[in-house]
Amino acid sequence: MISLILGFIGGIALGSIFPINVGFFVALIFLTVVFFAYRYFVDENSRKILNITLFIMFGILCGVGRIMISDLYTDSRLDKYVGKQINIEGIIVGEPDVRETNTKLTVGVRSVVNGTTTIPVKEKILVTVPIYPEFSYGDKVRAKVVLEEPGEFETNGRVFDYKGYLRVRGVWYTSRFTNVEFVSSGHGSFVKTLLFKTKRKFTDSIHDALPEPESSLLAGLLLGTKQSLGKELLTEFQKTGVSHIVVLSGYNIAIVASSIMAVFKFLPKNMSFGFGAVSIILFTILSGGGASAWRAAIMVLVALFAKKFNRDYKASRVFGFTVVLMLAPNPLLLAFDPSFQLSVLATIGLIFVTPHITPYLSWVTERFGLQEIVSSTIATQITVLPYLIYNMGVLSLVSLPVNVLILGTIPLTMSLGFITGVLGLLSLYLSFIPAFFTYILLWYQLTVVHIGASIPFGALNLPAFSPAVVAVIYLLIFFGLYYLRKKN
């Protein structure tokens, strides 16, 4: 099974990096068939090795086949309109992304009006509009757009593939300074509409009960809405290596999942399981459904099913299953979504590296879960840091102490913050009591981040380097962990 999973991931990676044609795919099929036939002419020991090779090759075949039928190898029906002003009609298919100075709308184009001719189209574009007037998910709109092909961004000598990032989300083109006209509402999914309205009211409740920037930090912890924190504060989070707490990472989802299951614990087991599982899925959708959130949600749900049916839960197997489950519908995640890549690396650190780190931290107290926080933080830093530096160019020297000081307070902050938001929906005055204690925790976290970011040389900007260097670093990490395993 591991061979098949690794082959599938390798096949997607191969097709994402190098252009694959039908001839190569047919040759791969032929080679697999030859290996399959050859296994009948070898001895038993050789056959075992050959069987593993066959599983890998079959996985590669499936991975290459899947990437070949993805958006990466297809053309958009909007290609001929690039650089031209056209009139479109479509539906806002995602939650509006409200920034400091503008709003980004993902519009599912349904038709292009070319003179007197209406051409049906089914593509997504990303349009940038002023903050006002406001639009909502499910709104039908008309717009005059000039389609632009997404380019690349360069920061600290690093090039960010914005085109690939948007392609993962099914978006082909962008348009700025767009004139959008509201037509009607109610064209989206009923469930998503209800969830996004609830999220909006809940966020407003938080902002009413708490001042800035504490309210925005809480919204980031609970719902992943980090944009309202502002660039300056987000830069401080990046310098101190704690950006993961405001992007609804697996850590946040795990806390939310535990809280949800605790809420339904009073119900009969079957009802508790059903309500808990559905609530976790709905919350993940409500949060925007990022790659890291879905990865954590799937792993939590598999753990619930394993517990329900008295099955063994092996995190490594579940992790492999989860990665395949996410890549099967959207193989572009592997090469073009940094959040997916970081989530996978962080999970590898937690599952495979933490057990090798913990024995060396026996001197750290287990009170308040401190030993677990320290070991998991070091483990994830080992697996994530090389890739993070390669992409961002920032090496945080204060990441470990800042994470240790903050992470232990996150669960209580999220619990009190959730209570604050819920009570605020009933009465602003009721929310003041939990809001007071929530504010103290949020203020503490922001203070730690601010102090950490202000330390001279606390974060170093490193020059860009080759992907080969990253590969060598990860090879050294692999051999180092292999040595530790042999030693223990």
Given 3-state DSSP classes, what are the helix, strand and coil percentages for the chain, each rounded to the nearest 5? Answer: 65, 15, 25
Cis preceding linkage at 150, omega within 30: no
User: Residue 488 above 70 pLDDT?
Assistant: no
- pLDDT digit string, tens, across residues 180-196: 888 898 888 888 888 88
CA 66 from chain center: how many Å?
21
Q: What was the pLDDT predicted at 342?
A: 85
Which of 58-67, 107-116, 460-469 has the highest average model confidence (pLDDT)? 58-67
Domain ranges of the chain: 2-69, 79-187, 194-487
User: Residue 462 above 70 pLDDT?
Assistant: yes
Residue 350's pLDDT band, with cuts at 50, 70 and 90, is confident
- The whole-angstrom separation of Cα 259 and Cα 180 is 41
174 versus 152: which is more confidently predicted? 174
> Which amino acid is residue 158, in one-letter code?
R
Phi, psi of 20, deg, nearest 5:
-110, 135
- pLDDT digit string, tens, across residues 2-45: 888 888 999 999 888 888 888 888 888 888 888 777 777 777 77
Query: What pTM was computed for the model?
Result: 0.83
- The whole-angstrom separation of Cα 291 and Cα 250 is 10
Among candidate residues 165, 160, 150, the one with its CA nearest the CA of residue 337: 165
- pLDDT digit string, tens, across residues 91-131: 999 888 887 788 889 999 998 887 667 888 888 999 998 88
CB atoms within 10 A of CB 8: 27
- The whole-angstrom separation of Cα 127 and Cα 91 is 12
Phi, psi of 144, deg, nearest 5:
-100, 120
Contact 285, 191 (CB under 8 A): yes
Instruction: Tell me how far CA of residue 29 lies from CA of 24, 60, 430, in angstroms.
Output: 9, 10, 66
Among candidate residues 365, 316, 375, the one with its CA nearest the CA of residue 344: 316
- Sorted by sequence, the CB contacts under 8 Å of residue 113 that are 6+ apart come out as 86, 87, 88, 89, 119
Contact 219, 228 (CB under 8 A): yes
Q: What does the mean pLDDT of the chain come to?
A: 84
Phi, psi of 128, deg, nearest 5:
-105, 125
Q: What was the pLDDT predicted at 439?
A: 94
Residue 304's pLDDT band, with cuts at 50, 70 and 90, is confident
User: Residue 249 above 70 pLDDT?
Assistant: no
- The whole-angstrom separation of Cα 212 and Cα 20 is 50
CA 305 from chain center: how many Å?
23
Residue 247's pLDDT band, with cuts at 50, 70 and 90, is low
Work out whether the CA dihedral 269, 271, 277, 283 comes out positive or negative.
negative
Among candidate residues 137, 5, 105, the one with its CA nearest the CA of residue 60: 5
Domain 79-187 has CATH 2.40.50.140: yes
- The whole-angstrom separation of Cα 241 and Cα 384 is 11
Place of tokens 């839960």: 313
Two tokens, residue 96: 């509006």
